[in-house]
Structure 1
Amino acid sequence: MTTARSWWRRGDDNLRADAQAAKDAAAQAFYELDTAQRDLVISIETITAVDNSPAAQRAAADFHALGIRIDQVSGAYIAAVDAHDLDRDELDASAAGRARTELTRAKDDLARVKGELDRFAEGLGPLLGKAETQLAKLAPAVERARQALLGASNALDAVRAAGLRADDLAARLAALAPELTKLNQGAGTHGVPETLKRAEEVLRGAEAVRTEAERLPERTQEIDKRLASLRTRAQALSTRAEGVDPILSELRRRFSLACWQDLQHVPAQAGTTVAQAEAKLTEAAKARDEQRWADATSLLSAARALLDDLDGTVSAAGDRLRKLNEVLKDPKAEIDKTRFAIRDAQRLAMQGRTTPEPRHARPLDDAVGRLDRAIAALHGRHPDYWHFLTETAAVRETASRVVANIREDRAAGR
């Protein structure tokens, strides 16, 4: 027969079991929250190591705030566990009920914060993905930079073995050594973004040195060829310049002063320019022998520019004589060519109109008058045929400009 004492004892055991179940559930909730928080610590550390953007900074601040709430509910759970010894024999129904209530509340609070943590973790997805991508790039980027430095060093060794010093390239490669030291110190010291940036800069610098070193033998051959070619050209231009004096003599004999006066300086200028170019070539040869490749290239370019100018100057006298002979023999050809240009522009100006636009007609009318005056000047005692040629060229340029303006206006619907 069951006594009243036994009946109450079974009731206490049930309450104790309920309280224990609440304790176990709270412990599970605490474990799950702690695990999720630990995982998120790693995620946040990954993000902040790579990303210093406002979004990343907000994520770190939000996680800190969550950490405070986690500490609060964890503290409440631990306090509830410490406050109730569910194993003691004298646990009464009232104490068991309070334990179950407080532990259930602690479990619910832990689960609520765990839900907040889960939602926060979901929102971290884009930031975490970006950070992990950056981290995945880190080791390969550093290794590529190291390999590029090795390749540049090997290329320099090969160049030196061929008897070329390449001091400037060696200096550039040496300047990358401190950057390699920082790369070797790692992202923990300098941060992931800065390390990735440094690896890219080292890669570019080393690749540039390697490329230039590998091309150095070819560049040396190019400089030698250019030196020989420009020396030959300077000699040829010097010889051509000697023919300017006879051309000037013929111009003086057959044409008025205005036709050749501006060319009198050509022989003296030719001699000076050839001397300047040859001096540049001598300096370039010395720079090449001293393996100052950039200086050699610059000096060769300067010599070429001088010879280009001289070529045009020397050619000017012969061209002048040829053009003057042509217009002296048949000025009508030049006149007809110029009149045709004017008439062509006039026809276009009148196309689809009864009267031309004044801004088109006026320069064409002026051009007609200018041509007429140039033709009239040919009938003087000592005609200036060069002035005639420059005038007809200017008239044709005016006509061409009017044609271009008309076409632009019509293309724009004006």
Structure 2
Amino acid sequence: MTATHAQPHARAKASAVRDVLTLMLLPVPLVVAALPAAFAGGGTRRWFGGRGESQRADAQAAKDAAAAAFYELDTAQRDLRISIETITAVDSSPGARRAVEGFAALGQRIDEVSHGYIEAVDAHDLDRDDLEPSAASRARNELTKAKDELIRVKGDLDRFEQGLGPLLDKAETQLARLAPAVERARQALLAASNALDAVRASGLRADDLAARLAALGPDLTKLNQGAGQHGVAETLQRADRVLRDAEAVRAEAAQLPERAQEIDRRLVSLRTRAQALTTRAGTVEPVLSELRRRFAAACWQDLQQVPDHAATSVHQAEEKLKEAGKAREEQRWADATSLLSTARALLNGTDEAVSAAGDRLRRLNAVSKDPQQEIDRTRFAIRDAQRLAMTGRNTPEPRHARPLDQSVARLDRAVAALEGRHPDYWHFLTETEAVRHTVARVVSEIREERGAGHGG
């Protein structure tokens, strides 16, 4: 090899050695960064030394931090949107509407800062070989600013989400109730249907219960369509209503056989009672005859119409019982129950009127033989009240003494009225009874006042 040819070869060899030494002296991160390009065999990068690459790395770090902030904000917004949708699915209150409005306002701010971040990323290609240090510095600043804005809005979003706690808890509670409530409603409908089938199998039609159960069909259809179509709150209300109505049908169906038996028992009992009252009403006329013979007209005039009224009332009761029997045969349970109640009221009134005639004769017989017993009973009640009124006092309260004094005078007048040739013993009995009622009222007032700490 000639010298002429040897010199270029030496120069090339020395250049290669310098390149190797240069690579060995570079900082490790940049060596690592340079190796892929070197081995790839494609293109070369213009190196700016340690300061330039450091600015590129700072810009890249700012870009990565901004990307992380953007991801966190996007994730938080997605999670919050689910919370808002949960609330709006259940709650239509003013508080829920304000939450939706607040989320929409936050969404506008998120769009603004996200747009700023994307512009900052698009404006700077940090992988360019000819990236100037000033461009890298500008990229770092803009990306850091975008990151700070993203973090600031993320903080606002977090605070807003914390304020949704009560609304979200309420909504989640209702959503948790939804499936069990719908299932309970379905089960109640099934139980009602089974109870109705059992009743029909026993020979009872229960048409009214069947109609009530059928009326729940549209509600069941809507429950099956789901809350997505009809709303959570409305579905919960419908499920509760179906549960309540179906349970009522089931309970009434279960009680229907017993109800039918009770109506049968009442029909027999009231028919027997009507027959007995017809017999008893026949005794009123002899009682009235004795009253007329032995006592003044004032003692029995008010009983004159009892026989006619008793006969009429018993007849009306018997007609109601016939109607009730027909309603029972037709399984019109409500009508049968109502008619039985009417018949019972008529018979009760008749019983009282018939009993009153016999009781009148008994009391008049007793007082005509010995009025003193009634007088003593009444005077004892007055004296007992007077002693109570004087207990712990030198003089009684006028509001207590006055009615007691009037009662004494009233009793004296009633006793004096017995001295006539045909005394009105019934008037005497009603007067003594009225006096005892007045005295009892005064005694009750005194005890109430002293029990409350008033008066002595």
- TM-score relative to the length of structure 1: 0.97
- Among 68, 72, 76, the alignment partner of 1:36 is 76
Partner of 1:125: 165
Residue in structure 1 matching 2:178, options 138, 154, 175: 138
Aligned equivalent of 1:336, options 369, 373, 376: 376
CA distance in 2, matches of 1:399, 1:155: 59
Q: 1:233 to 1:86 in 2, by over 3 A?
A: same
- Taking the aligned partners of 2:226 and 2:46, their CA distance within structure 1 comes to 71
Structure 2 matches for 1:278-289, cutoff 5 A?
A: 278-289=318-329
Q: For the residues of structure 1 that align with 2:161 and 2:431, how far apart are their CA atoms?
A: 83
Shift of 1:232: 0.3
1:100-122 deviations in whole A, cap 9, x for unaligned?
00000111111111112122222
Letter in 1 for 2:248: A
Q: Which moved more, 1:46-55 or 1:216-225?
A: 46-55
Deviation at 1:54, TM superposition (A): 2.4
* Shift of residue 10, structure 1, vs aligned partner: 3.5
Check if 1:57 corresponds to 2:97: yes
CA distance in 1, matches of 2:50, 2:437: 119
Residue 106 (str. 1) matches residue 146 (str. 2): yes
* TM-aligned CA deviation for residue 138 of structure 1: 0.3
1:4-403 mapped onto 2 (5 Å cutoff): 8-403=48-443
> Given the superposition, is the C-alpha separation of residues 183 and 7 from structure 1 closer, same or farther in structure 2, using an over 3 Å criterion?
closer
CA distance in 1 between counterparts of 2:344 and 2:438 reads 34
Report how far residue 7 of structure 1 moved.
Answer: 7.4
Larger Rg: 2
Segments of 5+ residues of structure 1 without an aligned counterpart are none
Per-residue deviation, 1:211: 0.8
1:104 to 1:337, Cα distance in 2 relative to 1, 3 A:
same
For 1:251 and 1:147, locate their aligned partners in 2 and report how far apart those are by CA, in whole Å.
Answer: 69
Deviates more, 1:399-408 or 1:311-320: 399-408
Give yes or no for contact 2:46–2:129 (8 Å, CA) kept in 1. no
Deviation string, structure 1 residues 115-165 (Cα, Å, up to 9, x no partner): 121222222222222211111110110011011111111111111122111
Letter in 1 for 2:306: V
Post-superposition shift, 1:380?
A: 0.3
Identity score, percent = 76
Tell which deviates more after alignment, 404-413 or 186-195: 404-413
1:330-374 deviation line (CA, Å, top 9, x unaligned): 100000000001111111111111111111111111111110010
Q: What amino acid is the match of 2:174? A: Q
How far off its partner does 1:64 sit? 1.5
How many equivalent pairs are there?
Answer: 412
> Which one-letter code corresponds to 1:103 in the other structure?
L
Deviation at 1:32, TM superposition (A): 0.7
Contact 2:46 2:130 (8 Å CA) reproduced: no
How far is the alpha carbon of 1:382 from its aligned partner?
0.7
Question: What SS does the aligned partner of 2:419 have?
Answer: coil
Instruction: Give a deviation string over 1:271-323, Cα, whole Å, max 9, x none.
Output: 00000000000000000000000000000011111111111110000000000
Q: Which runs of 5+ in 2 are unaligned?
A: 1-17, 23-44
Counterpart amino acid of residue 230 in structure 1: L
Take 1:8 and 1:88, find their aligned partners in 2: how far apart are those partners? Answer: 13
For 1:7 and 1:138, the matched residues in 2 are separated by 66
Give the letter for the 2:399 counterpart. Answer: R
Q: Which runs of 4+ in 1 moved over 4 A?
A: none
C-alpha distance in 1 between matches for 2:74 and 2:146: 14
